[in-house]
Amino acid sequence: MQKNPSASSLGPGGLDLAQAFFKPIQNTDPPSSTKRHTKISVIGVGNVGMAIAQTILTQDLADELALVDAKSDKLRGEMLDLQHAAAFLPRTKINASVDYSITAGSDLCIVTAGARQNPGESRLNLLQRNVALFSNIIPPLAKYSPDSILLIVSNPVDVLTYVSWKLSGFPSNRVIGSGTNLDSSRFRFLIADHLDVNAQDVQAFIVGEHGDSSVALWSSISIGGVPVLSFLKNQQIAYEKQTLENIHKAVVESAYEVISLKGYTSWAIGYSVANLARSLLRDQRKIHPVSVFAKGFYGIDGGEVFLSLPAQLGRGGVLGVTNIHLTDEEVQRLRKSAETILEVQSQLGL
């Protein structure tokens, strides 16, 4: 599945025309062994996986892209569809296979695969099926790319990031969940929309679980460097706390709205994950709210848990967690969010 028959062997007897087409110049050295070749693997070619793959290609984030899925026909179709756009994209080698050996040497492995919920199925049973699925995904990824970073997108992302950490044996800095990176983007959009400013000028984080128990950090929101709540207080501008709660509620419910309207989410998570890939692979050292090993932060000591905190990302994965000030109420909500995740994990018997 890696190459089309119409590759470079077009000459008589399968002559490789790539060698005959170009004449080398004299007195050359072989290519430098230090030249960086970036490889990304995407596991799962559903709507989310392909949105991520397409965004990675258009943003020129990888020299090689490997796709893996259990459905061989769909997988080959998606690979060919992307390959046929080669004339319009930066040069990237695109391969696909049902065999995980194709991911060998990956710098970043992005996992989007997951079981669909059956009618009447409990969330716990769905999660247990996803854990079983991950037991067939994560070990081969770790085997073929032992130095890679794992980026988990499948839901429930916090629990499955923890599962991936356990199954891979990787250090915690190289296992990351997409977490609330997209939630925070939705949060910034809604605030920007309320105030009629550019969302890129809004600094705002959603932390904790990627789900109903997430926490909006209102105390640290700033626009153009101006802390919003402090500004309102200093200017004696009244605001209702319920208004803030409604904005957070809209963030939590926004994905459900998109799913109810079009059947799935894809483009926003595609951009979100590509944004994370850029920060990781190009050592951007940007701050992202992603699911990280959270034990020991903000009094979260009840067990080993992954949840979203503002973290600095670079070539080594998670470089550190931002020491952001939280109010007492925000700390309590964050701890409660951790307890929610730990309660689910305790039912898995891992």
Q: Hey, which residues are catalytic here?
A: 210
Under 8 Å between Cβ of 105 and 62:
no
**Interatomic CA distance for residues 335 and 313, integer angstroms:** 23
CA 11 from chain centre, in angstroms, equals 43
42 annotated as a binding-site residue = no
48 annotated as a binding-site residue = yes
Q: Which of 170, 124, 147, 164 is nearest to 43 (CA)?
A: 164
Under 8 Å between Cβ of 318 and 311:
yes
* Cα 66–Cα 71–Cα 74 angle in degrees, nearest 5: 75
153 annotated as a binding-site residue = yes
* Cα 298–Cα 174–Cα 127 angle in degrees, nearest 5: 75
44 annotated as a binding-site residue = yes
177 annotated as a binding-site residue = no
**Interatomic CA distance for residues 216 and 207, integer angstroms:** 7
Burial of 325: CB neighbours in 10 Å, binned 0-12, 13-18, 19+ = exposed
Q: Which two tokens stand for residue 111?
A: 């996992």
**Interatomic CA distance for residues 69 and 1, integer angstroms:** 12
154 annotated as a binding-site residue = yes
Binding site as annotated, residues for NAD(+): 44-49, 69, 130, 153-155
Binding site as annotated, residues: 44-49, 69, 130, 153-155
